Structure 1
Amino acid sequence: MFGNHRFLYGKGERMTFLGELALILIVTLGVSHFCNRINIPAVVGELLVGVILGPALLGWLRPSAFMHDFSEMGVVLLMYLAGLESDLGLLKKYFKPSVFVAVLGVVMPMVLMPLASLAFGLTQQDSILVGVVFAATSVSISVVVLRDANILSSKEGTTILGAAVVDDILAVLLLSVLSTVMGTGQQVNLSLKFGLELLYFVGLFVAVKWVVPGIMSLSEHLQAPYAVVITALVLGLALAELAELVGLSDVVGAFFAGIAIGQTKYRDEIVTAVEPIGYAVFIPVFFVSIGLNMSFAGIQSDFWFIVVMSLLAIATKLFGAGLGARLAGFSHTSAYLVGCGMVSRGEMALIVAQIGYRSHLLSKDYYSSLILVILITTLVAPFMIQQAVKMQKARPN
Structure 2
Amino acid sequence: MNNHMFDEILSKFQLPVTNPVLMFMLVLLIILLSPLLLKKIRVPAVVGFIMAGIAVSPHGLNVLQKNAATDLFSTIGLLYIMFIAGLELDLNDFKQKKHKSLLFGFLTFSVPTLIGFPVCYYVLGYPLLTSILTSSMFATHTLVAYPIISRYGISKNEAVAVTVGGTILTDTAVLIILAVVMGSVAGGLTAVFWLRLTASLMVFSLIEFIAIPRLANWFFIKVANERTTHFIFILFMVFLSAFLAQLAGIEPIVGAFAAGLALNRLVPPGSKLMNQVQFVGNAIFIPFFLISVGMLVDLHVLFNGYHALMVAGVLTVVALAGKWISALITQLVFRYSNAQRGLIFGLSSSHAAATMAIILVGFKARIIDDNILNGTIILILMTCLVASFATEKAAVRITGTDGGRNKPLLQKEEVNTGS
- What TM-score do you get using the length of structure 2 for normalisation? 0.75
The 5 Å alignment of 1:249-264 reads 249-263=254-268
Structure 1's 118 and 10: CA in aligned 2 closer, same or farther, altered over 3 A? farther
Task: Find the aligned partners of 1:229 and 1:95 in 2 and give their Cα distance.
Answer: 30
Displacement after TM superposition at 1:365 (Å): 6.8
Residue among 202, 227, 230 paired with 1:228 = 230
Alignment of 1:269-348 (within 5 A): 269-300=272-303, 301=305, 302=307, 303-320=309-326, 323-324=329-330, 327=333, 330-348=336-354
Residue aligning to 1:4: none
- Give aligned pairs, total: 383
2:380 to 350, 371, 375: 375
CA contact (8 A) 1:75 1:140 kept: no
CA contact (8 A) 1:83 1:256 kept: yes
Q: Contact 2:78–2:357 at 8 Å: present in 1 too?
A: no
- The residue correspondences of 1:1-397 to structure 2 (distance < 5 A) are 11=14, 14-78=17-81, 80-81=83-84, 85-125=88-128, 128-129=131-132, 131-139=134-142, 141-142=144-145, 146=149, 155-178=158-181, 184-187=185-188, 189-206=193-210, 210-220=214-224, 226-246=228-248, 247=250, 249-263=254-268, 268-300=271-303, 301=305, 302=307, 303-320=309-326, 323-324=329-330, 327=333, 330-359=336-365, 361-362=367-368, 364=369, 366-380=371-385, 381-394=387-400, 395=413, 396-397=415-416
Per-residue CA distance 1:258-312 (angstroms, 9 max, x = gap) = 4132259xx6221343333222222221222232232223323232332233111
Given residue 144 of structure 2, which amino acid in structure 1 is its aligned partner?
I
Whether the 8 Å CA contact 1:160–1:338 is kept in 2: the answer is yes
Gaps of 5+ in 2: 1-10, 401-412
* CA 1:111–1:51: 2 relative to 1, 3 Å: same
Q: Distance in 2 between matches of 1:263 and 1:378?
A: 30
Cα distance in 2 between the residues matched to 1:209 and 1:153: 27
Q: Report the alpha carbon displacement of residue 115 of structure 1 after superposing the two structures with TM.
A: 2.6
Q: Which has the larger radius of gyration?
A: 2
Residue 59 to residue 392, structure 1, CA distance change in 2 (3 Å): farther
Separation of aligned partners in 2, 1:12 and 1:283: 25
**In 2: Cα distance, 1:365 partner to 1:155 partner:** 40
> RMSD in angstroms over aligned alpha carbons?
3.6
Task: Give the aligned residue type for 2:344.
Answer: V
How many percent identity over aligned positions?
A: 18
Q: Distance in 2 between matches of 1:63 and 1:297?
A: 18
Shift in Å, 1:324: 4.3
Contact residue 351 and residue 384 of structure 2 kept, 8 A: no
Verify the 8 A CA contact 2:323 2:348 in the aligned structure 1.
yes
Mark the CA change 1:228 to 1:296 in structure 2 (over 3 Å): closer, same or farther.
closer
Counterparts of 1:134 and 1:83, CA distance in 2? 18
Gaps of 5+ in 1: 1-7
AA at the equivalent of 2:349: V
Deviation string, structure 1 residues 7-42 (Cα, Å, up to 9, x no partner): x99856632343222212212312212223344333
CA distance in 2, matches of 1:360, 1:76: 21
